[in-house]
Chain A
Amino acid sequence: MTICDDPDLSATKQERELASLQNKEHGRTEQFVRHHAGWMLAVANRVLRDRSHAEDAVQNAFAAVFKNLDSFNQKSSLKTWMHRIVVNEALMLLRKQSSTCEDSIDPFQSIFDENGCRIEEDWTTFRTPETILQQAQSSAQVIELIGRLPESYRVILVLRDIEELSTTEVADMLETSEANVRVKLHRARSALKKLLEPLIRGGAL
């Protein structure tokens, strides 16, 4: 299940929701906004890491949704379509606030010896995600560590691995090449693995 899937919202329900909005049924707009605002705010906050900017992104996203509702072609689900819109709006705000310099990700990359062999500290235990997340505050720690990645890498990791967009979609949204997305995603994953190692090994962060 992707993070933007909504088990409560079957295809028929979505069609009804869409029809009532397009027919401008009384009270439906408010119900629609209240139903979707929560997850949209969570998505925008994951991209922007700033509550106030996330609220702006959600407001802009709803404006775009209402403006383009008549042209929504139902090739994807309503929620998937709205998910792309809120991500786009968040990215637009992120571009405005991004600084041009960011920390290097190199210190968190894999290292190799003169034979081309990987140098990896010995692993004696691997804790599973389920075990790790049973510990209080673990998910907050993981989210905090994702936030430590340099911005351009963090965004790609969030869009690919958390929002579950395809490489092509991410490249389009960030107006960059798919090759660049792939390189940055690999480096971001490597860095995140390094940052999460203490948690995976079972030690304190």
Chain B
Amino acid sequence: MMGLSKRTINRIHGILFKLPMMITCRSFEDFILAYLDDKLPPRQKFVLDTHLELCPECRDYLRACRISIELAKTSAREAEVYFPIEVPEKLIQAVLEAQKVQATSNRN
């Protein structure tokens, strides 16, 4: 759709997405979570896949979403591995002390 303004393309999409087996971006939004978790029935998945084929905005949105989820996961893992929190000795001793008290009271 080279040469058409974004507004015109959106107007065409607005009409196109109201056809049978089509959904608007706004409706697409409601199914993104299930789509990302691959939990949609085949028919709904087909509808969403078709929408993605036609809609670069939703494609880009979804791609950026996937990257940001991966970033959240990987950043937390990297921080845990490369910058581990030092466990204070007083915490270890407090845990061991509490366990001793618990074990003694269980015996009594």
The majority secondary structure among interface residues of chain A is helix
Across the interface, which residues of A come within 8 angstroms of B72, CB to CB? 142, 146, 157, 161-162, 192
Residue on B nearest A124 in the bound complex, by CB: B60
Residue on A nearest B29 in the bound complex, by CB: A110
A10 within 8 A of B: no
Contact with A37, one of B26, B78, B83, B92 (Cβ below 8 angstroms): B92
Chain A interface, number of residues (Cβ within 8 angstroms)? 61
A50-73 near B? 1/0 per residue, CB < 8 Å: 010011001100110011000000
Contact with A189, one of B17, B68, B75 (Cβ below 8 angstroms): B68
- A59–B74 Cα distance when bound, in Å, is 27
Across the interface, which residues of A come within 8 angstroms of B55, CB to CB? 117-118
Residue on A nearest B23 in the bound complex, by CB: A116
Chain A residues numbered 120-178 whose CB sits less than 8 Å from any CB in chain B = 120, 122-123, 126-129, 132-133, 138-140, 142-143, 146, 157, 161-162, 164
B91 within 8 A of A: yes
Across the interface, which residues of B come within 8 angstroms of A140, CB to CB? 75, 79, 83
Given contacts A161-B69, A161-B73, contact A118 B96 (CB under 8 A): no
Residue on A nearest B74 in the bound complex, by CB: A129
B21 within 8 A of A: no
Complex contact A116–B27 (CB within 8 A): yes
Complex contact B10–A115 (CB within 8 A): yes
Complex contact A200–B64 (CB within 8 A): yes
Residue on A nearest B17 in the bound complex, by CB: A116
Residue on A nearest B101 in the bound complex, by CB: A63
Chain-B contact segment, one of A11-19, A28-36, A78-86, A92-100: A28-36
Complex contact B33–A182 (CB within 8 A): yes
Complex contact A118–B84 (CB within 8 A): no
Complex contact A117–B25 (CB within 8 A): yes
Q: 5 A-B pairs, CB-CB below 8 angstroms?
A: A3-B76, A62-B98, A117-B55, A118-B29, A192-B68
A residues apposed to B, CB below 8 Å: 3, 24, 29-30, 33-34, 37-39, 41-42, 45-46, 51, 54-55, 58-59, 62-63, 66-67, 110, 112-120, 122-123, 126-129, 132-133, 138-140, 142-143, 146, 157, 161-162, 164, 182, 185-186, 189-190, 192-193, 196-197, 199-200
